Each structure stands twice: as structure tokens, then as C-alpha cells.
């Protein structure tokens, strides 16, 4: 239960960090309102991804859980941005895809590495 919630929080933190870094890089004011306005489509995508793949079953797995959560986050975020007339230039989509993939899959790789001994001790049928 706690790992599932931690996985969701981890993915949402990646989204927030991505948005914040983007604002800093572009010299835009780093305010809560700005972060919310740009980040909410991706946060919705993250929530949908966790629900669609039932990520709570294996929250640290990169395949298929991490990949699908990332893909659904990206697709939903871009679709919502398009619906609301926000920018979805190719360069933005590419940068978003790379940064969120590195973040969402990267923290899972670290979590898998940190819990490797625990998985070795678990019985095969569990």
C-alpha cells in the first residue's frame, strides 16, 4: 500500500520537477499557480496511468508498469494541452518525453536496485 502511494507520489514529483525546471530554463516565474497551470494535464495523465495499468500491483516495475504510466502521462498531458490550446510543438513533446521518461523510469530503477535483496528473500509463489 505504502509503496503504491510512494510510486504515485514519485511520478507526480517527476512531473512537478519537470515543470519547475522548464520555468527556470525559460525565465518564467516559478509560482504555484504557474506550476499548476502547466502541470495539471500531466498529473491527470499520471493518475490515469496508475489506474489503467493498476500500478499498485508492482509499483517499482519498469516493464510494463513504469513504461505504461509514462506513456499514458505523456499522451494525456499532450492531448489535454492540445484541447486547451496550449503549446505542443514537436520540440516540447520530445523534451517532455525524454525528461519524464528519465525521471519516471529512473526512480523505479533506483527503487528496484535498493530492494533487490528483499525480492531475493521473497518466496517464489508470493
User: pTM for the full model?
Assistant: 0.89
pLDDT score, position 90: 96
Lowest mean pLDDT among 3-7, 57-61, 106-110, 116-120: 116-120
Which residue, chain included where needed, has cell 512531473?
Answer: 15
- Cβ-count burial 95-119 (b if 16+ within 10 Å, e if not): ebbebbbebbbebbeebeeeeeeee
According to DSSP, residue 57 is labeled G
pLDDT score, position 122: 67
pLDDT score, position 80: 97
C-alpha cell at 29: 516565474
Please check the confidence at residue 119 and state whether its pLDDT lies above 80.
no
According to DSSP, residue 124 is labeled T
Q: Write down the mean pLDDT value for the chain.
A: 93
Amino acid at each position: 500500500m505504502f509503496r503504491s502511494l510512494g510510486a504515485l507520489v514519485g511520478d507526480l514529483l517527476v512531473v512537478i520537477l519537470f515543470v519547475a525546471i522548464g520555468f527556470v530554463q525559460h525565465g518564467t516565474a516559478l509560482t504555484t499557480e504557474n506550476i499548476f497551470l502547466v502541470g495539471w494535464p500531466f498529473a491527470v495523465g499520471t493518475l490515469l496511468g496508475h489506474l489503467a495499468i493498476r500500478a499498485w500491483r508492482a509499483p517499482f516495475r519498469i516493464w510494463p508498469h513504469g513504461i505504461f504510466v509514462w506513456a499514458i502521462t505523456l499522451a494525456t498531458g499532450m492531448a489535454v494541452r492540445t484541447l486547451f490550446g496550449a503549446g505542443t510543438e514537436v520540440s516540447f513533446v520530445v523534451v517532455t518525453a525524454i525528461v519524464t521518461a528519465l525521471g519516471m523510469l529512473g526512480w523505479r530503477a533506483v527503487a528496484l536496485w535498493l530492494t533487490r535483496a528483499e525480492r531475493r528473500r521473497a518466496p517464489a509463489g508470493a
